[in-house]
Chains A and B, each alone.
Chain A
Amino acid sequence: MFPGAFTYSRPATVSDAVALLVDNPDAKILAGGHSLVPAMKLRLAMPSALVDLRDITELQGVEASDDSVTIRAMATYNDVRDHEGAAAALPILVEAINVVGDAQVRDHGTLVGSLVHNDPAADLTAVALALGGDVHATGPNGDRSISLDDFFVDLWTTTLEPDEVVTHVTLNRPSQHSRMAYRKFAHPASGYAIVGVAAVLGMDGDTVSQARVALTGAASTATRLSSVETAITGQALTEESVEAAIRDVTAGLTINGDQFAPEAYRAHLVEVLTKRALLGTQA
Chain B
Amino acid sequence: MTDTEQMQKTLVSMTVNGVERSAEVESRTLLVHYLRDHLGLTGTHVGCDTSQCGACVVNVDGRTTKACTFFAVQVQGATVETIEGLAHDGVYHPVQEGFWEEHGLQCGYCTPGMIMSSVSLLKRNPNPTDAEIRHELEGNICRCTGYENIVRSVRYAAEKVRAGS
Residues of A within 8 A of B (CB): 1-8, 30, 33-34, 37-38, 41-42, 48, 50, 52, 54, 76, 78, 98, 101-105, 107-108, 191
Contact = CB atoms under 8 A, between A and B. Distances in A.
B29 to A, nearest CB: 8
Contacts of A4: 28
Contacts of A98: 135
B115 interface: no
A85 B63 CA distance: 22
B138 A103 contact: yes
| Interface bin, chain B | 20 to 34
Given A50-B71, A105-B139, 6 more contacts: A5-B1, A5-B6, A7-B1, A7-B5, A38-B51, A103-B120
Contacts of A50: 27, 71
A56 B5 CA distance: 26
B26 A5 contact: yes
Contacts, number: 85
29 contacts: A2-B28, A2-B30, A5-B1, A5-B27, A6-B28, A7-B8, A8-B10, A30-B74, A33-B71, A33-B74, A37-B51, A37-B70, A37-B71, A38-B69, A41-B50, A41-B68, A48-B1, A50-B27, A52-B73, A52-B74, A54-B74, A102-B54, A102-B138, A103-B136, A103-B139, A104-B66, A104-B69, A107-B65, A107-B120
B50 A42 contact: yes
Contacts of A191: 138
Nearest to B135: A98
B158 interface: no
Contacts of B69: 33-34, 37-38, 104, 108
Contacts of A104: 54, 57, 64-66, 69, 117, 139
Nearest to A1: B49
Interface string B32-68: 0000000000000000011100100100000111101
A30 B5 CA distance: 20
A5 B163 CA distance: 50
Given A1-B49, A37-B51, A102 B139 contact: yes
